[in-house]
Amino acid sequence: MMLRLVVQALLLCSLCATPAPAQTLKKIRIGHVAPTASNWTNFVATEKGYFKREGLEEEITYVGNVANTVQQTVGGSFDVAVSTFDTAIRAVANGGNVVLIGSLVVKYPYSIMTAPSINTVADLKGKRIILPFPKDLLTIVWNRWVTEQGMKPEDVEQIYAGATPNRLAAMVSGTVQAALLTQPFDFRAAADGYKKLVDIGGYARDYGFLTLLARPQWLREHPDMARGYVKALSDAVDWLYDPANKQEAIAILARGTKLDESIAAKTYDHYIVELQPFSRKLAVPERVVQSTVKTLIELGDIKPDAATRTYTDLSFLPK
C-alpha cells in the first residue's frame, strides 16, 4: 500500500511539472516600405511582446514603396499594408478592394535636406531633388511649397525613389542635391553637414502620413487577428509616449533602424516631445481623410463622386 501511494504521488508530481503547451502564434503578413522611425511602434510591439500577447507573429516584408504595399495587399500577398493616406485613398476610390482600418502616423515626419552648398530653394534651380514618386502627396506638398517661394516646380529636376534610405544614399553619392528624408535619417544627414530646407510636418498640417489597409474579406475571416494587431500597435503608441520609457525607446529605435543611438535620441526628442505623430488608439482623423480626398479630386486623380465613398472600417480599433 505504501509503495502504491509513493508511485501515485510521483506520477502526480510529474504531471504537475509538465509544462503547458506553448501558444501557437498566428502569422500575420505585413507590407512595409522601409525600416524608419515611422515603424517605431512595430519595433516596440515586437520587442515588448505585444504581438505575441495577442497570439500573433508579425511577418514583415519591406517592399520599397507604398504603391507596392497596396497592390500586393489587394492581390492577397499581405494581410495588412502600411500605406500613405493618399495612396490608400486613391486605391479605394479607384475600386481597390481594401479599406482603411487605422492610422499609424497622422503628421508628416519629413524634412527636405540639401547639400551643404544649398542655402535657399533658389539655389536648387537647375539642380536635382529626389522624392517618393510623381503623384505622392509629399511630392505634391513640395511642389506647392516651391510655388509659394516664387519658383516653378520644374525649375528643380525631380527623380524618384520610394524609400528614405535610398533617397539618402542618392544625396550622399552626389546624384542629387536635395532629398526628402524621414527620421532618423534626416538627423544623420544633418550630422554629416547637410542642411534642412523645410520641415514638411510643420508645413503640411492638414494631411496625415501613414494608415493601415486590409481587404474586407480578410477582415471578415480574421476579425480577432485584425483587432489583436491594432491593439498591439495601440499599446506600443502608449508605451512610446510614456516618458519613463525614453532610454529603452531610443535603444529600440537604434536597433530597428541600425543607426547610432545618438541619432535615435534626437529622433526621440523630435517625435515624442515635439511632433507627436503617432495616433492614439490608431484613430483615423476625419479631417485627414477629407482633405486628402479633396486634394486628389482637385488633381484629377480620383473622380468627384469619390467624395461620398466610404474609406474606413473603424470597428477594429481599441475602445
At residue 137, the pLDDT reads 85
From 3.40.190.10, 3.50.30.30, 2.60.40.650, 3.40.50.300, which CATH number describes the 26-107+207-316 domain? 3.40.190.10
DSSP secondary structure string for all residues of 158-202? EEE-SSHHHHHHHHHTTS-SEEEEETTHHHHHHHTT-EEEEEHHH
**pLDDT mean over 265-280:** 92
**pLDDT mean over 307-316:** 94
**Strands of 110-114's sheet in order across:** 157-160, 128-131, 178-182, 110-114, 195-199
pLDDT band at 160 (very low <50, low <70, confident <90, very high): very high
At residue 91, the pLDDT reads 93
Checking if the pLDDT of 17 tops 50, the result is no
CATH fold of 110-203: D-Maltodextrin-Binding Protein; domain 2 (3.40.190)
Q: How many residues appear in the chain?
A: 319
At residue 62, the pLDDT reads 94
Q: What is the pLDDT of residues 108-146, one digit of tens each?
A: 888 999 999 999 999 999 999 999 988 888 898 999 999
Which residue type sits at 84? Answer: T
Written as nine digits, the cell of 8 is 501515485
**pLDDT mean over 152-157:** 96
Q: Please report the sign of the dihedral spanned by the C-alpha atoms of residue 116, residue 120, residue 122, residue 127.
A: positive
26-107+207-316 shares its CATH topology with 110-203? yes
Checking if the pLDDT of 278 tops 90, the result is yes
Checking if the pLDDT of 11 tops 70, the result is no
Angle at 295 (CA atoms; ends 289, 297), nearest 5 degrees: 100
At residue 22, the pLDDT reads 55
Buried b (16+ CB within 10 A) or exposed e, 205-224: eebbbbbbbbbeebbeebee
Q: What is the pLDDT of residues 180-210, one digit of tens each?
A: 998 889 999 999 999 999 998 888 878 899 9
**pLDDT mean over 75-90:** 94
At residue 319, the pLDDT reads 85
C-alpha distances (whole Å) from 315 to each of 106, 223, 235, 280, 281 are 19, 10, 17, 15, 12
CA distance 319 to 317: 6
Helices (H) and strands (E) in the chain, counts: 14, 10
At residue 221, the pLDDT reads 97
What 3-state DSSP class applies to 157?
strand
**pLDDT mean over 42-56:** 97
The residues, any chain, with a CB within 8 Å of residue 1's CB and separated by 6 or more, are: none
Residue ranges covered by each domain of the chain: 26-107+207-316, 110-203
